[in-house]
Amino acid sequence: MEKITLIICGACGKMGQTVMKLALKDNNFLIKGGIEVKGHEMIGKKIEGIPIYNDLSEILEKGDVVIDFTTPSATIDFIKKVEEKMGKIVIGTTGFEKNQMEKIMLLGETTSVFFSPNMSLGVNLFFEIIKYAVKLLKNYEIEIKEIHHHFKKDAPSGTAKKIAEIICNEKNWKIDNVLKYGRSGFTDIRKFEEIGIHSLRIGDIVGEHYVYFGGLGEIIEISHRCYNRESFASGALKAAKFISKKEKGFYSMEDLIKEEVLNV
């Protein structure tokens, strides 16, 4: 079987290193190189035999799929180069502004792009459970809490935002009108059409997400806890396999689940 060749952007970061470790153990993949920010100490050197570059254009033609776990500004630069070469990219970066996400989605008109704010297969199945719970618990108030390590720069997490989008889509609520980012001072009585999102940054927690459904005299809690980064890396590699077989289009973990898990 012909191997899928990979280029890993953010190769020296925690996620990049984890993706590389799993890909090196997987006979489906061959890593052609890693990308790091200009001036990084590893540029021109090798990690586990994988050369590290600072310019994606140098090696883009050698890879079938680019996997990106970097920063929003770096990702926007990468997608321009991917589009020029008609490449394919898996994006696990979070914290994008609205206009940046629009650019990523437009990329699907010319090539293959896979985007997910959380690459864990488990957390994306968690999204499906949330959809069902929202339909079932129609008269319950809803709050979201997320906890991450103190190095995480964006808040709320991309996963928490995705949960809020799912809830609003199911309830036909306009997301900008109902989200409350924490609470402070005199907040008045809570409205039913309101979703509180609360972000904690503490210690080295990889990622925890909680959705609370509150009724009279009871609370139902649905949660997902991630204990290491391998679930994200494994999901990114599943995504790479998925889009390696796809033509142009914008794909998400929801598409992968429908095709490979639910067989829809």
Instruction: For each of the domains in the chain, give its residue range(s) and CATH number, in order of start.
Output: 4-115+229-261 (3.40.50.720), 121-226 (3.30.360.10)
Alpha-carbon distance of 156 to 152, in angstroms, equals: 10
| Angle separating helix axes 72-84 and 98-107, nearest 10 degrees | 20
Contact indicator for 117, 100 with CB cutoff of 8 Å? no
Both structure tokens of 179: 């989200």
Percent of the chain, pLDDT > 90? 86
Report pLDDT digits (tens) over 177-217: 999 998 888 778 899 999 999 999 999 999 999 999 999 99
> Which amino acid is present at 51?
P
The verdict on whether 148 is a catalytic residue reads yes
Length in residues, the chain: 264
Question: What confidence category does residue 95 fall into, taking pLDDT thresholds of 50, 70 and 90?
Answer: confident
Alpha helices in 55-157 (DSSP H): 72-84, 98-107, 121-136
Check residue 220 and give its pLDDT: 98
**Active-site residue, selected from the candidate residues 32, 148, 162, 224:** 148
Contact indicator for 235, 253 with CB cutoff of 8 Å? yes
Contact indicator for 240, 119 with CB cutoff of 8 Å? no
The verdict on whether 152 is a catalytic residue reads yes
Check residue 240 and give its pLDDT: 97
Alpha-carbon distance of 175 to 178, in angstroms, equals: 5
Tell me which residue has tokens 């996620």.
15
**Active-site residue, selected from the candidate residues 152, 238, 241, 246:** 152
pLDDT at 162 over 60: yes
Rg (CA), the chain: 19
Q: How far is CA 162 from the centre of its chain?
A: 10
Report pLDDT digits (tens) over 32-86: 999 999 889 999 999 999 999 999 999 999 999 999 999 999 999 999 999 988 8
- Average confidence (pLDDT) over 213-235: 95
> Which amino acid is present at 109?
E
- Mean of the per-residue pLDDT values of the chain: 93
pTM listed for this prediction? 0.81
